[in-house]
Amino acid sequence: MLIQQPLSLYIHIPWCVEKCPYCDFNSHALPHNKSKEVTGIPEQAYVTELIKDLDSDIKRFSLKQRKLHSIFIGGGTPSLFSAPAIEQLLTQVLNRFEHDDDIEITLEANPGTVEAEKFIGFFNGGVSRLSVGVQSFESDKLIKLGRIHDSQQAKNAAVLAENCGVTSFNLDLMHGLPNQSIENALDDLKTAISLNPSHLSWYQLTIEPNTAFHSKPPKLPIDETLWSIQDQGFALLAEAGYQQYEISAFSKNNYQCQHNLNYWQFGDYLGIGCGAHGKITDTKQQKIFRTVKVKHPKGYLDQTREHLDHLNEVVQAELPFEYMMNRLRLFSSFSLEHYQDATGLNANDILPTLNQAKDKLLMDNIGNSWRVTQQGHRYLNDLLEMFL
C-alpha cells in the first residue's frame, strides 16, 4: 500500500548568460554585453506563470493539505533574477503550504561579481541555503568549461556565501576536467575545502548527448587517473570532516541537502517552470504520477497554453528500478518497509534480486535493512541493471 511521502518543490529558472559546453540542462542564453550583463529577463512575467503553474498542480493533485518539506530553485542561473523577484516568488509559494519556520530553501548561484552581491538580498528574501557553481578554481579550466567567472571571483563568491546570513552553502566542483592531472584536481579540492563550505558536491565531468562537448569531445583523463583522483579526493574530504552520504555529495555533520535527500529517498516533488519534472504519490488512487512542464520559455510564457506538457503514471513494473535508481545513490541503509511504503509493492518480490546482489558483494544487509557496499557503489550501473 502506498503511503504519503514528504513533498518538496523544485522551481526551474531557465536563463543563463552563456550555455556551457558540458551542460545538458534546459538552459537558454540571454543577450549580454561584454561585461556579461544580461538584458531582457522577463522575471515578473515568469514569476506570475510559475505561481499559475503551482496552483494548477495543487488543484490537480489535491495538495492543499500537504506540508512542504523543502524548496530548490535551480537552472539555468537563478541568481540572474533580482532579490525582490525571488522574495515575491517565495512569499507566494510559502503562503500556499504548511511548512516549518526553518524550511530549507536553496538557490543556485554563479560566482559572477554582480550576482554574488545579491546574496544578502536573497537571504533577506527567504533563501536559507546557497549552492554556488564554482566547478574549478583554475582559470584555464574555467575557460575550457565555458564559465564566465575567474578563479578569484569563485573564491569571493564562497566568502560572500558564508557571510551573507544563510544557514549553509554548497560548492559545486568538478573533477576529471580536460587535461587535468591528479595534482590539479586535488589542488582544486583543497582550495574548496579551505573555503569551509558546509556542503560540497564533487563530481566527475561526463560528456552528455546534445552538448557542445559531445560534438567536439575534449581530451579527458584516462580511467586510471580518474580512479586515483577519486580515491585520494575521498581521503582528503574525510580528513577535513566531510561525510560522503551520496555518490557525489559530501557534508559537514547535519548539513546534508534535505531537498536532494528527499529525491534520493523516493519522496514526492512538484516541478514548476520550463521543462521541470515532478513526481507525486496519490494515496487515494494508489498511483504514482510523473509530470513534465513545457520546455521552452516562449511556450511556457504563452498564456494560451497549459504549463503541463506530460502527465504519466509510473507503472508497477518500473517501480523497483525507479526506487533503486534513486535510493542506491545513498550510503545509508534503507528498510524493506520503506520500499513497500514508497512503491506500494510487496518487498518479498524484490528479495531474490537483493540476495543476488548480496552474493555478488554489491549489497549487504542486517535483517530488513539493506545498503550498497563499497564495491556496489563502484559498479553502481551494474547493480542497477539487476532491478530492470
Mean pLDDT of the chain: 95
Residue that finishes a domain, picked among 221, 238, 261: 261
CB 96 within 8 A of CB 73: no
Q: Are residues 215 and 336 in the same domain?
A: no
Domain span holding position 187: 7-261
The band of 119, judged by pLDDT with boundaries at 50, 70 and 90, is very high
The pLDDT of residue 29: 83
Residue 233 clears pLDDT 60, i.e. is over it = yes
Query: For the residues 358-362, what does the mean pLDDT come to?
Result: 98
Number of domains in the chain: 2
Q: Are residues 116 and 216 in the same domain?
A: yes
Which three cell numbers mark 45?
512575467
HEC secondary structure over 124-156: HCCCCEEEEEEECCCHHHHHHCCCCCCHHHHHH
CA–CA dist 353, 344 (Å, integer) = 18
Residue that finishes a domain, picked among 261, 284, 300: 261
Residue 31 clears pLDDT 80, i.e. is over it = no
CA–CA dist 301, 50 (Å, integer) = 9
pTM: 0.96
Q: Are residues 244 and 332 in the same domain?
A: no
Share of residues in the chain with pLDDT > 90 (%): 85
Q: What residue type is 288 in one-letter code?
A: I
Residue 97 clears pLDDT 60, i.e. is over it = yes
Tell me, yes or no, whether 82 lies in a domain. yes
Q: Are residues 253 and 342 in the same domain?
A: no
Q: Are residues 82 and 208 in the same domain?
A: yes
The pLDDT of residue 40: 79
Tell me, yes or no, whether 1 lies in a domain. no
Q: Are residues 226 and 326 in the same domain?
A: no
Q: Are residues 200 and 337 in the same domain?
A: no
Residue 32 clears pLDDT 90, i.e. is over it = no
Query: For the residues 137-145, what does the mean pLDDT come to?
Result: 90
Tell me, yes or no, whether 21 lies in a domain. yes
Identify any residues that bridge with 363 across adjacent strands, giving them in sequence order. 372
Tell me, yes or no, whether 321 lies in a domain. yes
Q: Are residues 363 and 217 in the same domain?
A: no
DSSP letter at 32? B
Whichever domain contains 194, its CATH number is 3.20.20.70
Q: How many CB atoms lie within 10 A of CB 266?
A: 23
Residue 20 clears pLDDT 90, i.e. is over it = no
Tell me, yes or no, whether 165 lies in a domain. yes
Q: Are residues 353 and 253 in the same domain?
A: no
Which residue would you say has higher pLDDT here, 151 or 115?
151
Whichever domain contains 378, its CATH number is 1.10.10.920
Residue that finishes a domain, picked among 220, 241, 261: 261
Query: For the residues 264-283, what does the mean pLDDT come to?
Result: 98
Tell me, yes or no, whether 200 lies in a domain. yes
Range name among 147-156, 171-180, 229-238, 336-345 with the lowest pLDDT average: 147-156
Q: Are residues 113 and 203 in the same domain?
A: yes
Query: For the residues 34-61, what does the mean pLDDT come to?
Result: 90
Tell me, yes or no, whether 273 lies in a domain. no
Query: For the residues 82-95, what does the mean pLDDT come to?
Result: 97
Residue 113 clears pLDDT 60, i.e. is over it = no
Which residue would you say has higher pLDDT here, 207 or 200?
200
Q: Are residues 255 and 327 in the same domain?
A: no
For the chain, the distance separating the N- and C-terminal CA atoms, rounded to the nearest angstrom, is: 21
Tell me, yes or no, whether 173 lies in a domain. yes
The band of 115, judged by pLDDT with boundaries at 50, 70 and 90, is low
